[in-house]
Structure 1
Amino acid sequence: MPSGAESVFLVAAMGEFIAGMLGNGFIVLVNCIDWVKSQKLSAADCILTSLALSRITLFWISLADSFLMVLWPQFYAIGKLAKLIGILWILCNHLATWFATCLSIFYFFKIANFSHPCFAWLRWRTGKVLLVLLLGSLFFLFLKLVLIDSFNGFWINVYNIHERNSTWSPGVSETLYLNSLIVSNFIYLIPFLLSLSSLLLLSLSLMRHTRNVRMNSSSNDFRTEAHKKAMKIVLSFLLLFILHFSSFVLTGWCFLIVQKQQANLAVMLTWSIFPSGHSFILILGNSKLRQTALKLLWHLNCHLK
């Protein structure tokens, strides 16, 4: 039977799972209905749907992982099962991160306005640029899996050598964990820096556009609002991504240093804020999704009354 803290963790994990499924499932459902009706889907909707599908899979894996960790921890003694769960989690998390990065870059090319010929050339080929990024992300995924597999083998060998050595300092395990963390997760810096560059360039484009609007005394300024909306979406992705990555790092750190399951479970809950919270931000930032959500809430309210 799970303890009180473990029961609270499972209830919280179920709550985050339901919230994530509602937000991401709504995105997939609306875009699929729109695709069936119009027989076409815009580039932004394709990215949003792919992002939501990868996060839905990620939520199912995380929910199964949570119940296994609390109710049946003995299954983690099976090396192949633990490795399979880890690979699936890394795959879905990697794809979700890169789809969100592609969305940030898409907003940048769609809304920003620069006179540089390089920007015009890339903007004209936005679809190809995003395709190259996704193909490059598959290479980084393969590299990450190879590095993680190598460090897992190295970690097991070191543990087998030193497991009976009472003089082995805890600092050795901390150093090994930190080194493996840096090497295996530096790849996450690439999508983060790409999204950060998109945000900074959007800010620069907004400043230039605002100056031009003031000089021309234009009153109908829809592009300024588009800049601000895109910047809010990209900024929310960056902030939630930092929280997500920090919780991922702290999970392993707590397991290694604190060596208490309660601390590990508490940190694990924070990473789900990113895929679930970001989906609702995307719904609010997309006019089609926002209007559909408002209509749905209005119908539900009328039905309840």
Structure 2
Amino acid sequence: MLSRERMPSLLILFFMIFFLLESMAAILGNGFIIVVLGREWVRCCTLPPGDMILASLGISRFFLQWVTIFSNFHSYFYQPNRNLYIVTFWNFANVITFWFTTWLAVFYCVKISSFTHPIFLWLKWRISRYVPWLLLWSLLVSTLIFIPSFVNKCDIFHLPVTGNYSEKTALDKTRALQRLSYLSLKIFFLLIPFLFFLASTILLISSLCQHLRNMQHHSAGPQDPSMQVHITTLKSVFFFLILYASSVLSLITTLIAPISVCNSGFWVWEVGTYAGITIHPAFLILNSTKLRRALKKMLYDHETA
């Protein structure tokens, strides 16, 4: 039975439902990517490097969204403090999602950009063979990061509580110091992939703008197919940058100044934070020939059934 204090207000209930619908859309979008690319992965025993990153990103986002739903509703209705294991898995899924998103941006940057610097030419020829190792490295690093953080949070949860004022003050200081070190570590490891992502995106935007100027200089019309492709890519990169930056900044803000799950502002914040994970899969599906073809086939089969 839920206590009367735990029953949500109409405002909180509205944003809960909105968050749930948003999450279901994200799960369906990422699930579709996983099914389509996973089926090809099983059939061909391999995937192109770009699709391999998309599949990995879809898997991480799929589980991240489920654990977020469980964590938020479990915390609101049953337990004010989130379960230690849920928090650890949520942190792990968040970090690995950021890394996979970063490698997608790096891959597009290296493959699409038209820079002639030897480093870019070297990467352009070798990035494909490094993709499986980059994904494996991200998985390993994310695991190694949260093993000490899990141990640290276990220590905080199991610190003894006594009635002695001096001991209580010392324990409070210990908890505060451990929380500060944990937050610093987490923010640091969130900023590393973000800086890689930001650098890749800026380089890609610069390359595309340079290419568009060259095309205009050679009198390529606005309806030229190549011009349209580069303009579409440029818009998608800007959109990608806004989504990623907002996700990182909102997560860091939540870490520094957490909001109570019983506050309506928490659910408003969750709706805004996870909007990117909802929108981006649809954007990836519409901009991938393979995924778009699979979606059209699925819709056609459904209509003819």
By how many angstroms is 1:15 displaced?
A: 1.0
Q: Distance in 2 between matches of 1:73 and 1:218?
A: 62
Segments of 4+ moved more than 6 angstroms: 165-168, 170-176
The answer for the alignment partner of 1:17 in structure 2 is: 23
By how many angstroms is 1:299 displaced?
A: 6.0
Structure 1: stretches of 5+ with no match in the other structure: 77-81
Q: Distance in 1 between matches of 2:67 and 2:164?
A: 31
What secondary structure, in the 3-state scheme, does the structure 1 residue paired with 2:65 have? helix
Q: Distance in 2 between matches of 1:211 and 1:163?
A: 72
The answer for the alignment partner of 2:7 in structure 1 is: 3
By how many angstroms is 1:203 displaced?
A: 2.1
**2:275 aligns with one of 264, 273, 289:** 273
Cα distance, 1:239–1:37 mapped onto 2, change above 3 Å: same
What secondary structure, in the 3-state scheme, does the structure 1 residue paired with 2:29 have? helix
Equivalence map 1:279-290=2 (5 Å): 279-290=281-292
Which residue identity is paired with 1:194?
Answer: F
The answer for the alignment partner of 2:200 in structure 1 is: 198
- Structure 2 length normalisation: TM-score? 0.78
**1:236 aligns with one of 234, 239, 246:** 239
Cα distance, 1:272–1:204 mapped onto 2, change above 3 Å: closer
What secondary structure, in the 3-state scheme, does the structure 2 residue paired with 1:114 have? coil
Contact 1:284–1:290 (8 Å) recurs in 2: yes
The answer for the alignment partner of 1:94 in structure 2 is: 95
The answer for the alignment partner of 1:114 in structure 2 is: 115
Q: Distance in 1 between matches of 2:116 and 2:26?
A: 40
Q: Distance in 1 between matches of 2:140 and 2:294?
A: 37
Equivalence map 1:247-266=2 (5 Å): 247-255=250-258, 261-262=262-263, 263-266=265-268
Structure scoring higher RCO (CA < 8 A, sep ≥ 6) equals 2
**Residue 65 (str. 1) matches residue 71 (str. 2):** yes
Cα distance, 1:272–1:214 mapped onto 2, change above 3 Å: closer
Contact 1:195–1:234 (8 Å) recurs in 2: no
What secondary structure, in the 3-state scheme, does the structure 2 residue paired with 1:187 have? helix
Which residue identity is paired with 1:239?
Answer: I
Stretch of structure 1 that moved more, 43-52 or 173-182:
173-182
Q: Distance in 2 between matches of 1:249 and 1:162?
A: 34
Q: Distance in 2 between matches of 1:233 and 1:163?
A: 59
Which residue identity is paired with 1:32?
Answer: G
Q: Distance in 2 between matches of 1:115 and 1:124?
A: 13
Which residue identity is paired with 1:125?
Answer: R
Contact 2:19–2:267 (8 Å) recurs in 1: no
Cα distance, 1:163–1:286 mapped onto 2, change above 3 Å: farther
- Structure 1 length normalisation: TM-score? 0.78
The superposition leaves residues 133-160 of structure 1 with CA deviations (integer Å, 9 ceiling, x where unpaired) of 3344345424531553465367568995
By how many angstroms is 1:230 displaced?
A: 3.6
Q: Distance in 2 between matches of 1:248 and 1:84?
A: 19
The structure whose residues are more often helix, as a share, is: 1
Which residue identity is paired with 2:238?
Answer: L
The superposition leaves residues 20-52 of structure 1 with CA deviations (integer Å, 9 ceiling, x where unpaired) of 111111112222344466665322212111111
Q: Percent sequence identity over matched residues? A: 29
Cα distance, 1:215–1:251 mapped onto 2, change above 3 Å: closer
By how many angstroms is 1:226 displaced?
A: 4.0
Structure 2: stretches of 5+ with no match in the other structure: none
Cα distance, 1:109–1:253 mapped onto 2, change above 3 Å: closer
